[in-house]
Structure 1
Amino acid sequence: MAEENGSSQRKSETTQEVTKEMEADISRYFENASRTIFDEIVSSRKEDFFDVQRGSGSRVPDFELLADQSSEFLKGGSLLGNERLDHSGTNDVHRDVWIPSEQTRKILRSVATSTAGTTFLDRENLTMPGLAVQGDMPNLIKSTVARFLGEDESAQRHVLTASDVTQDERGLRMLIQAGCYKAAINLSGRLLAVYGQGYGKINQSSKHSPHSLQLWYTRLALLTKLRQIDILENESKPFDNLDKPDMYFTFYPELYGTRPGSMASFSFRLLLAEIPMYCGKPKQALDNLYKVLATTNQIIANFSAGFNGDGSRVKINPAEQDDAIRLWKGRRSRILISIVNCAVSMKNYVLGIDILERLCESANWTPEQMDALRASIGRLHLFLGDVVAAEKFLIDIHKKDSGPTVRELIDRGLMAVAHNSFQEAYKCFQAAEALDPSNIALINNMAVCLLYTGQLKTAVHLYESMITRNPVRSLQESILLNVCTSYELHTTHCKQPKLHLLSQLNRYKGDAVDIQCLKLPLN
């Protein structure tokens, strides 16, 4: 009986772990560097409401689609090795499992049966990464403040740099938590140099470890967030699809004995598959993601048959089997979410809807998670211009005795926007903001509605009040771009209020904000 209770408790804990991972990673991928439907809608003209415009001069401020999510990228537990903590109940072998290609499998078998130090591989079978840039990334906010506001104002800036923290993983965490992503990239470069993978080391052989690969994952995730595309593309290329022999534990028998599995985390594998999407190659990213999905499905099938995930005919006990299947099904859901974002970036909304519908049927979601998935389907129907279908997902699902939730009010507001009923939309967003006063995206949506109803001065005042009340959370790139666009629509004398925003950035934010969002003449 005690054993049965223990099994039940372990199953419950594992379910919670996977659910926690799903929530963290769903929000992370919805808040990626490339904008998707889960980030915003931009309206430019009545007949094509959902056409995303990038123009600077005629740009219209953005509606935030996921107004109940904000800036969760890089806050998930998978950075810097925490993926292991999130699944502490899962056997290491099952968590790290991956199915190598036949060529890699042969090389690993050869390494395992040879005397240590006698196996020498061609360069094409080795992973040889290195830094693509020399020196530190500059702090553009500091230099811009000095240029426009003077050295006295620049001296008011107290932001962590790579040299201000411990030169280790703990220092990286501090920089990321402080929003100093450029400084974290700089520190990651220093730490990778210790592994012989610094500047100029691309295509030079070096040893790998789970720690070095986690450093690379953190660095590439930060580069993705900051949209440093050239560096991202060059530094991610040597890893390919993480299938070369030196990416597996068995390549280093002197360190890991016969331990099987991949040294690279699943999160790293997924990020590498997605990177082409951020580099303007969404079709390649889609191909990569479907390959990862195919391997993941095979791993789930192997576990379901009672064997190890890599297909080796070793029986595992039922408790481990349940934990492993649950973990890998959660990972499969993460892949499908990435495929949705990739499909949306290609404007393939039909594929996005199909994947989301499959997701709805593929797991035991909580009511809140199911509502979020269905709401995403509804918003994709809006992109297709099918307002009737969208209403079935955004409105009809909310028939409850209790009052409407924040998400329900947001959905109603978005439906009103689709019908060009901006006053009604404003009321919905205002009601949602009353339930969630700290939600910056909701106030942004209210301000955009005011702009569309000709209340420009009121919209500007709402933005300024929001920033004054909560500068740390309000000074986000998308919000600042909206504010500066509103200033330009409001008056030709908009430089001074923009400089005030620059002063606020200088005092309250790290180094991650793209200074161009203030639309100041930087050249």
Structure 2
Amino acid sequence: MNPPPPLHPERARSHGRVASGDERRRVAIPRRSTRGPLDSDVDDPLADSIPDVQQPQHQHQHQQQTRTTSLQTASPTIAALSPQRILSPTRSETSPLSPHDGQLPDMPSKDFSFLQDPAAFHVLPASNIPPPFLNAPNAPSLTSPLPVLLQTGHFRLAAIAAARNLVASTSPTDHNTLFHLLHIRLSCLCLIQEHALAAQEAKALGDLNSAFYLHPLTNTHLVPWSLRLLVVRLAALGYGEWRKGIMGYYDLARECRETISKQDISSDEKQLWRLRLRDCGIRVANVLVELRDLEGAARHLASLSPPEIDESRAAEAAEILYMETLVHLRIGDITAARRTLTSLSTISSSSSPLIEGTLTALLSLSNSDYTSAITTFRTLQSQFPSNAMVTQNLAVCLLYVGQIAEARQLLIDLVDTSPPFRSAVFNLSTIFELCTERSRDRKMGLVERLAGRGRDGGEGVGFEVANGDFKL
């Protein structure tokens, strides 16, 4: 008797395939001992953290030794970086992943060489800087240490030196140094009013929300918080995309809330992230002011004030009320500004006589009560003689009432004795235009006097003021 024909004769030898019902498919194929790149323990923080309770002890130890030997042979660098994670099947108290450890565990090297592209950094234009600043006798060299350049106010030279060190003197895997130098570069560009160049150079970072910038073990962001804030600011300021800047700050605020809600962080870390969350809210109000949405900025600042002000949060509440008062003054709502300033009296422990006196004088100035404003600023100047803000506001009030000679002398003394700032230079240049027809000669004399400070061993300026600030 012949055997019955097969059910599927056409599949008997079609390309050597086996029918799905064949019992040979049920034979268990042992796992190969070869370890591929996806088997690396460094990429998986939970690998080998839970031992197999059903496996005999001697078999588990034998497999553990086999895995250790294989990994050390394939990648000795990783094994040397974290031998305890490989040798121990459970998480010990001294594990780098322990939440009680203050330092981040070691991680594989990441290549950040894309930040060292020389083409990403622009040559700084010098056409908008007066020649006396470019040829100042007290200007240091580019080889001076960066802290010295920053401390003396030579921000243009510091920006150039930071870019050179970032491109030529830093390892592409040293992300801490790379981010630090890039932060100095972008900050110095902002200080010399080169926001457009800073915004273009910040694009080299790409999307900071990418997983590439996260620590593979702890999920901590590798980019410093201050640099991330600056990048959001540059995206709004450099390209005029203010709404994109608001969205960026809200993304950072969401990260702050998520971190605060975690249970495995200390109280100090929670306080730090609360301060960062509050700072994001203030920066959103700043963007609204630059968008000319002053009413929205005032409402937003009012929402940042805590509902119940205790002694621990009195300083934060007072700072928000100061900002809210200034916004109301800029709107022209004198009643709301006076009401906000009056509410500061309930926070007596955190009140500042300097700031409250200045706001009171500005309220008088907004009501065209120049006499009261001058009296208040003179009182503040006697109490704080070295405060440049009080001196400049007093000079402006004197200019409004026609006392140009006294206002000019106050600003000249201010520029000669304190580090110059743009508003003081601009106001003094305006007075020169009101006093003489040869104002350009007076302005150029002011430029040479500022650029030559420190020639005789005195304190140098270093702060390069542009032509527009001198009204040249």
Decide: shared fold, TM above 0.5: yes
Rounded Cα–Cα distance in structure 2 between residues aligned with 1:423 and 1:161: 49
| 1:224, distance to aligned residue in structure 2 (A) | 1.8
With the length of structure 1 as denominator, give the TM-score of the two structures. 0.62
Corresponding position: 1:266 with 2:225: yes
Which residue of structure 1 aligns with residue 160 of structure 2?
186
Corresponding position: 1:216 with 2:182: yes
Q: Structure 1 residues 338 and 396 mapped into 2: Cα distance closer, same or farther (>3 Å)?
A: closer
Cα pair 1:241 1:273 within 8 Å, conserved: no
Q: Structure 1 residues 352 and 92 mapped into 2: Cα distance closer, same or farther (>3 Å)?
A: farther
| 1:346, distance to aligned residue in structure 2 (A) | 0.7
Segments of structure 1 that go 5 or more residues without pairing to the other structure are: 1-88, 95-111, 147-153, 166-170, 198-205, 251-257, 307-315
Q: Structure 1 residues 223 and 282 mapped into 2: Cα distance closer, same or farther (>3 Å)?
A: same
Which residue of structure 1 aligns with residue 334 of structure 2?
387
| 1:141, distance to aligned residue in structure 2 (A) | 5.4
Match of 2:386, SS?
coil
Q: Structure 1 residues 134 and 466 mapped into 2: Cα distance closer, same or farther (>3 Å)?
A: closer
Corresponding position: 1:322 with 2:310: no
Structure with greater Cα Rg: 2
Corresponding position: 1:449 with 2:397: yes
* Match 2:320 to one of 360, 373, 384: 373
Cα pair 2:235 2:241 within 8 Å, conserved: yes
Which residue of structure 2 aligns with residue 22 of structure 1?
none
Q: Structure 1 residues 244 and 409 mapped into 2: Cα distance closer, same or farther (>3 Å)?
A: same
Which residue of structure 2 aligns with residue 298 of structure 1?
258
| 1:145, distance to aligned residue in structure 2 (A) | 6.1
Cα pair 1:378 1:394 within 8 Å, conserved: yes
| 1:431, distance to aligned residue in structure 2 (A) | 1.1
* Match 1:143 to one of 115, 131, 139: 131
Give deviations 1:384-429, integer Å, cap 9, x for gaps: 2221111012245348999981112101111011101112111111
Give deviations 1:3-45, integer Å, cap 9, x for gaps: xxxxxxxxxxxxxxxxxxxxxxxxxxxxxxxxxxxxxxxxxxx
| 1:496, distance to aligned residue in structure 2 (A) | 3.0
Cα pair 1:395 1:408 within 8 Å, conserved: no
Structural mapping, 1:348-367, within 5 Å: 348-361=293-306, 367=314
Corresponding position: 1:248 with 2:196: no
Q: Structure 1 residues 388 and 93 mapped into 2: Cα distance closer, same or farther (>3 Å)?
A: farther
Rounded Cα–Cα distance in structure 2 between residues aligned with 1:278 and 1:233: 8
Rounded Cα–Cα distance in structure 1 between residues aligned with 2:437 and 2:450: 22
| 1:93, distance to aligned residue in structure 2 (A) | 5.1
Q: Structure 1 residues 334 and 215 mapped into 2: Cα distance closer, same or farther (>3 Å)?
A: same
| 1:245, distance to aligned residue in structure 2 (A) | 3.7
Q: Structure 1 residues 400 and 217 mapped into 2: Cα distance closer, same or farther (>3 Å)?
A: closer
Aligned length: 361
Which residue of structure 2 aligns with residue 57 of structure 1?
none
Greater RCO, CA 8 A, separation 6+ = 1
Segments of structure 2 that go 5 or more residues without pairing to the other structure are: 1-99, 454-460
Rounded Cα–Cα distance in structure 1 between residues aligned with 2:437 and 2:336: 43
Rounded Cα–Cα distance in structure 2 between residues aligned with 1:417 and 1:449: 8
Rounded Cα–Cα distance in structure 1 between residues aligned with 2:130 and 2:227: 32
Corresponding position: 1:91 with 2:102: yes
Which residue of structure 1 aligns with residue 199 of structure 2?
233
Match of 1:376, SS?
helix
Corresponding position: 1:159 with 2:139: yes
Match of 1:512, SS?
coil
Q: Structure 1 residues 448 and 127 mapped into 2: Cα distance closer, same or farther (>3 Å)?
A: same
Give deviations 1:294-349, integer Å, cap 9, x for gaps: 22212222x2xx1xxxxxxxxx3xxx431221111111111112111111111222
| 1:499, distance to aligned residue in structure 2 (A) | 2.4
Which residue of structure 1 aligns with residue 372 of structure 2?
424
Cα pair 2:314 2:347 within 8 Å, conserved: no
Which residue of structure 1 aligns with residue 354 of structure 2?
406
Give deviations 1:94-116, integer Å, cap 9, x for gaps: 9xxxxxxxxxxxxxxxxx9xxx8
Which residue of structure 2 aligns with residue 516 of structure 1?
468
Q: Quick one: which amino acid aligns to residue 468 of structure 2?
A: Q
Match of 1:347, SS?
coil
Which residue of structure 2 aligns with residue 275 of structure 1?
234
Corresponding position: 1:288 with 2:248: yes
Percent identical pairs in the alignment equals 20
Rounded Cα–Cα distance in structure 1 between residues aligned with 2:410 and 2:170: 52
Rounded Cα–Cα distance in structure 1 between residues aligned with 2:432 and 2:439: 6
With the length of structure 2 as denominator, give the TM-score of the two structures. 0.68
Q: Quick one: which amino acid aligns to residue 341 of structure 1?
A: N
Q: Quick one: which amino acid aligns to residue 289 of structure 1?
A: Y
Cα pair 1:127 1:247 within 8 Å, conserved: no
Match of 2:371, SS?
helix
Rounded Cα–Cα distance in structure 2 between residues aligned with 1:434 and 1:158: 34
Q: Quick one: which amino acid aligns to residue 405 of structure 2?
A: K
Which residue of structure 2 aligns with residue 482 of structure 1?
427
